[in-house]
Structure 1
Amino acid sequence: MTTRRLTVGQALVEFLGHQWTVDGDIRERTVPGILGIFGHGNVAGIGQALKQYNVVQPQLLPYHQARNEQAMVHQAVGFARMHRRRATLAAAASVGPGAANMLTGAALATANRLPALLLPSDTFATRVADPVLQQLEHPHDIGMQVTDAFRPLSRFFDRVQRPEQLFSIALAALRVLTDPAETGAVTIALPEDVQAEAIEVPVEFLQDREWRIRRPVPERWALDAAVAAIKGAKRPFIVAGGGVIYSGAENALRELVEATGIPVGTSQAGGGALNWDHPQYLGGVGATGTSAANRLAADADVVIGVGTRYSDFTTASRTAFQNPDVTFVNVNVAAFDAYKHGSRLPVVADARETLTALAASLTRCHVDADYAELVDREKARWDAVADAALSPTGAEVLGQSEIIGAVQSAADPRDVVVQAAGSLPGDLHKLWRVRDPLGYHVEYAFSTMGYEIAGGIGAKRGLEALDDDRDVIVMVGDGSYLMLHSELATAVAESIKIIVVLIQNEGFASIGNLSESVGSQRFGTRYRYLNRDELNFESGDLLTAVDLAANARSYGIEVIEVKPGPDAARRLSDAVTAAKASGTSTLIHVDSDPFASAPDGGGWWDVPVAQVSVLDSTKKAYTDYLEQQKKQRPLLG
């Protein structure tokens, strides 16, 4: 057997540079780049290997800088979304705090079912220097380290304790990374001494290897049962999730609903499964859904979930589907999700393959005229509501709905909007009019404040790798911006163009609304100076000393400030147009009224309310909560 003498770090870098994902006729690099922050733990291992290959073979595994380890993982996830899970980035971190900073990103990747390869460093496997700087010490378990915290957050975890383990661990990691049913955060912990150890590496390990995406077809019994249920339905309804996007099933979905007339609502991850103006598309469904989708979902007798996790937002905390005789057909490549909530008709298969098979079996099946008319009527009603919400009101300070309308009016149909947390996901789910399968990326499985800018940069990296020049528009609130804006320096350093719309509402608007709804009167959600007499932030002056536009400008990117005024919506649209014409990143700063709400879509979210309180606001909220709880179903069934 022919071998080459390499360090573990060098062998891993060369291995990753030769991995390919194959999905039908598409073949692309599985891990086309690596993000890394070096320090104690990886500077002599992965860091040295990347330097060496940068000298002798720079295209093997290109290195990208980052400013925050959590943000590295966010970039990988944004990249993977644009590649429909066929490719992602690796992220390497040092021992201790560097590794710990990646934990939020790991949880985000796993929750979203999106691949990210994490390479956190670990302390000495030999314990020759013990304890080392940044090492945890647990008297009951000396071997436990920061990297062990990745175990519950990862779809795959292993630690390379000896150099010989690298081969089996790396292959197992790539299997999970490229498996649609298993993917998420894939973590290989690398002790710092092992990274630098030399080993004889079989040449076969370093050669090109293909990982073929599995697209399992539905089993005949499952397909027949699903077809029978749909044929017997009077009011069928489809919930399209992220699996539709990841399997490239949007055309199959469109052909099915056009042939059958079945209406569609989407989860956050499913945004883009149908264009907003398609006759069968009723918008988002669930807690942040539209009134059109939620009214049809409430009475549906058969609900066909395609590639959805059925989270509490999608099911409106199990209040969305009120028909007592409803049947659920759950199509998902992962059995875990297909069987979720007690479904009696799970179809464990690829979304595209299943939708194609359903269309072939439902050629003479169409909803009746009354139901088709209801779909048209509810869609038209919601579109009128959305038109009004998106239109300028002439107010001095824009509401968030107006901001969305102004941004969209200047965006191109193929542009990608990126968001993650706060009140924006709910408003976008209702109001953003998606016109492209990849045009909507709202990370709402983990809803991570701080994801937006880093995820947007990752999305733009992913598009550039596909030679796709569409713009990425990041919409972010001031609360989320303050948590993680440092990757703007990365955008500048690599000339990665994104458009950031920074919405300043002087606090946490989403949690403010939620706090009010549970009777807590927006406590702790305003950005104000501390009132030292009352020991709170409720009545102090606004924190005007913090200038977020100046902060963004300090990174060296273009900044456009949209000042309040009756024509602010027009000026915001003009700013987006100017940003699109620019060749570099632009941040647009705009003030928002946190009390101007988007139209209600009729969804509910179960957030428990204190059962006893001296506050009248909490007592009333608890009474309202008990009324909403009465609509919950114990199982979807």
Structure 2
Amino acid sequence: MTTLETKQMTVAQALVEFLARQWTVDGDLRERTIPGVFGIFGHGNVAGIGQALRQANELEPDLMPYYQARNEQAMVHQSVGYARMHRRRATFASAASVGPGAANMLTGAALATSNRMPALLLPSDTFATRVADPVLQQLEFPHDIGIQVTDAFRPLSRFFDRVQRPEQLYSIALAAMRVLTDPAETGAVTIALPEDVQAEAIDVPLEFLQDREWHISRPLPQRGQLERAVAAIRSAKRPVIVAGGGVIYSGAEAALAALVEATGIPVGTSQAGGGALPWDHAQYVGGIGATGTTAANRIAAEADVVIGIGTRYSDFTTASRTVFQDPDVRFVNINVAGFDAYKHGSQLPVVADARETLEVLLAELGGFRVDTAYAERIAREKREWDAAVDAAFAPTGSDLPGQPEIIGAVQAASAPEDVLVQAAGSLPGDLHKLWRVRDPLGYHVEYAFSCMGYEIAGGLGVKRGALTDGSDRDVIVMVGDGSYLMLHTELVTAVAEGIKLIVVLIQNHGYASIGHLSETVGSERFGTWYRSYDEQARNFQGDDILPVDLAANARSYGIDVIEIEPEPHAIDRLAEAIATAKASDRSTLIHINSDPLVYAPDGEGWWDVPVAEVSELESTRRARSEYERLREARRPLLGEESDR
């Protein structure tokens, strides 16, 4: 009988060493699945994960690097930013203490899962033994004593388990890694760790601590599904491709370019698909949907076959089911996840990897090409939209430039390989229309969860991801004052580690996006301005702008700050500031004021936000009338009665 070789360790020590030995393999690429751990320590994990990381740092510093963070939510945002830069092959682990520390990560968990991005979460739990019950920061529910904060991760995670006994670590850790590295299942992966179990000793089999490889699955299309999809595409007169994040994660940009160059099929992108083709590619017609371009939306409106590649078809991508107007339109949905491949009632799903499928389609569609009239229509719509963007970028000489001008100045001063990071507010919509992506990884807009506060933390993750790959490309974070106020403390992390970010902080003294939306639904921007409280009117709708100095706030964190005062040459100053920031080896925040009432060109998209059916406000009644008119274009779900 062979004796199993073991090593006595705590559960936390075993987990840290296990994670350090995991490798993701994607074709010829091999990299560490978990290259580091973010952690904020409290009584739930300081003696467990905290001690294990300290021990690893002492005995083998490169085994599992530890990184500080200032907010638990931000740790997960950094992990997601890193994961996208590595096309989902790698991510970070995030360790939090009991109670509020764990709860702070919930938003990050939802964001990771919504975006189909891997993130490993290690929230601490109260005593499994309950020897000291209730402990500090413990929830108590008389009807179910076992419920704790970590249970809130269950609906937000693609995988959840709790290590209630040391022996459970092995099966739980292996199951967690399987989900992290599965393109069809990945998202937030949560292992809850009771604080006493973390510190408990166990004889760990050495086999558990050996290097282990997780090979990324790239499933080929099934013959029957492929044949039906090819037949539908060949029969199409006006096909269009909707390229989503799956194109980027699969590394399918070259395969997509080859297919559309051979066939002439136009391509519109979701937010996550930005970078699938460079902006000046002949077949690229821009962002599609509610925040899309007129070129993409007009072509999509008449499409008879829609080829979705790696898209989850959010309401923004489909313009709340109004963008595809052909009554007989069919959807060929190529996605590694069957859940997404079958959306819109598609009878033409292809459950397979994006790159593998595109390479097969190129061969199967040999000889197929859109007709001359359609090709000319694509080129004309693209020319007209490009001209509209040029006009939107043109400086107006206003003391308070509009956001399109600001985007244009940042675009002109940036390098093709730079990464633009954004997430929430009015910027995602404007960037989806206007930003001219020149690199497959150059456009990073988190829009599945559109989380205010993601920008700076996510940008740090993006920069870490670039540095790990040996790239010194600049990461430009664009953020409005509303989002900045939600979560800006990771600027301290950038200073502490000497990580360079360029942050363009656009101050418009309120919520520009929700303010505009408030107008469209008849609520007259109520509660969207940053103003002093008016005691008489009992609201914040007055003209008294708050004396908040966000530039001074950023400066207090120790980063360089360039302030651009309102004046006719503010846009020129912005371009100069970007150049200065790019030449520096330190993080720089550029502060500029804008006019929130200057909008980007209309892309003819719509977003369904219901308006009150009855109201005493005339503005709301007008908005309801317009809403009823616009929603007539919405296509029903299968089995649903039409609104028409």
Contact 2:424–2:450 (8 Å) recurs in 1:
yes
Q: Which residue among 162, 169, 174 is the counterpart of 2:172?
A: 169
Distance 1:92 1:458 in 2: 16
The corresponding residue for 1:225 is 228
The corresponding residue for 1:591 is 593
Structure 1 stretch 421-430 or stretch 385-394: which is displaced more?
Answer: 385-394
The corresponding residue for 2:580 is 578
Structure 2 residue 458 is the aligned partner of structure 1 residue 420: no
The corresponding residue for 2:609 is 607
CA deviation digits over 1:297-317, x for unaligned, max 9? 000000000000000000000
Structure 1: tracts of 5 or more residues without a match:
none
Contact 2:394–2:405 (8 Å) recurs in 1:
yes
CA deviation digits over 1:559-595, x for unaligned, max 9? 0011111111111011001100000100000001000
Deviation of the 1:155 alpha carbon: 0.2
Deviation of the 1:163 alpha carbon: 0.2
Distance 1:6 1:351 in 2: 43
Distance 1:416 1:363 in 2: 35
Structure 2: tracts of 5 or more residues without a match:
640-644
Distance 1:71 1:540 in 2: 34
Q: For 1:441-456, what aligned pairs fall within 5 Å after superposition?
A: 441-456=444-459
The corresponding residue for 1:568 is 570
Q: Secondary structure at the match of 2:9?
A: strand
The corresponding residue for 2:439 is 436
Q: Which residue among 379, 398, 404 is the counterpart of 2:401?
A: 398
Deviation of the 1:539 alpha carbon: 1.1
The corresponding residue for 1:535 is 538
The corresponding residue for 2:642 is none
The corresponding residue for 2:357 is 354
State the one-letter code of the partner of 1:377: R
Distance 2:124 2:477 in 1: 31
Structure 2 residue 506 is the aligned partner of structure 1 residue 503: yes
Distance verdict in 2 for CA 1:396–1:445, change over 3 Å: same
State the one-letter code of the partner of 2:620: T
Q: Which residue among 111, 121, 125 is the counterpart of 1:118?
A: 121
Deviation of the 1:132 alpha carbon: 0.2
Q: Which residue among 192, 197, 200 is the counterpart of 1:197?
A: 200
Contact 1:72–1:454 (8 Å) recurs in 2:
yes
State the one-letter code of the partner of 2:346: S
The corresponding residue for 1:481 is 484
Distance 1:115 1:592 in 2: 36
The corresponding residue for 1:377 is 380
The corresponding residue for 2:523 is 520
Q: Which residue among 83, 97, 101 is the counterpart of 2:104?
A: 101
The corresponding residue for 1:559 is 561
Q: Secondary structure at the match of 1:315?
A: coil
Deviation of the 1:481 alpha carbon: 0.2
Deviation of the 1:636 alpha carbon: 7.6
State the one-letter code of the partner of 2:225: A
The corresponding residue for 2:622 is 620
Distance 2:275 2:564 in 1: 29
Q: Which residue among 630, 633, 636 is the counterpart of 1:634?
A: 636
Q: Which residue among 268, 273, 296 is the counterpart of 1:270?
A: 273
Deviation of the 1:635 alpha carbon: 2.8
Deviation of the 1:394 alpha carbon: 1.1
Q: Which residue among 59, 62, 66 is the counterpart of 2:69?
A: 66
Distance 1:99 1:531 in 2: 38
Q: Secondary structure at the match of 2:633?
A: coil
Q: Which residue among 287, 308, 311 is the counterpart of 1:308?
A: 311
Q: Which residue among 50, 55, 62 is the counterpart of 2:53?
A: 50
Contact 1:343–1:636 (8 Å) recurs in 2:
no
Identity %: 76
Give the TM-score taking structure 1 as reference length: 0.99
Distance 1:224 1:216 in 2: 16
State the one-letter code of the partner of 1:335: G
Contact 2:331–2:344 (8 Å) recurs in 1:
no
Q: Which residue among 30, 34, 39 is the counterpart of 2:37?
A: 34
Distance 1:81 1:496 in 2: 18
Deviation of the 1:201 alpha carbon: 0.3
Structure 1 stretch 114-123 or stretch 387-396: which is displaced more?
Answer: 387-396
Q: Secondary structure at the match of 1:630?
A: helix
Deviation of the 1:393 alpha carbon: 1.1
Q: Secondary structure at the match of 1:314?
A: coil
Give the TM-score taking structure 2 as reference length: 0.98
Deviation of the 1:388 alpha carbon: 0.3
Distance 1:36 1:463 in 2: 21
The corresponding residue for 1:258 is 261
The corresponding residue for 2:467 is 464
State the one-letter code of the partner of 2:610: P
Distance 1:502 1:38 in 2: 31
What number of residue pairs does the alignment pair up?
636
Deviation of the 1:172 alpha carbon: 0.1
Structure 1 stretch 388-397 or stretch 414-423: which is displaced more?
Answer: 388-397
Distance 1:149 1:525 in 2: 30
State the one-letter code of the partner of 1:516: E
The corresponding residue for 1:333 is 336
Contact 2:233–2:305 (8 Å) recurs in 1:
yes
User: Where has structure 1 moved over 4 Å in runs of 4 or more?
Assistant: none
CA deviation digits over 1:334-373, x for unaligned, max 9? 0000011211100000000011111111110000000000
Distance 1:128 1:52 in 2: 27
Q: Secondary structure at the match of 1:84?
A: coil
The corresponding residue for 2:209 is 206
Q: Secondary structure at the match of 1:402?
A: helix
CA deviation digits over 1:423-446, x for unaligned, max 9? 000000000000000000000000
Q: Which residue among 158, 177, 181 is the counterpart of 1:178?
A: 181
Distance 1:207 1:578 in 2: 47
Q: Secondary structure at the match of 2:615?
A: coil
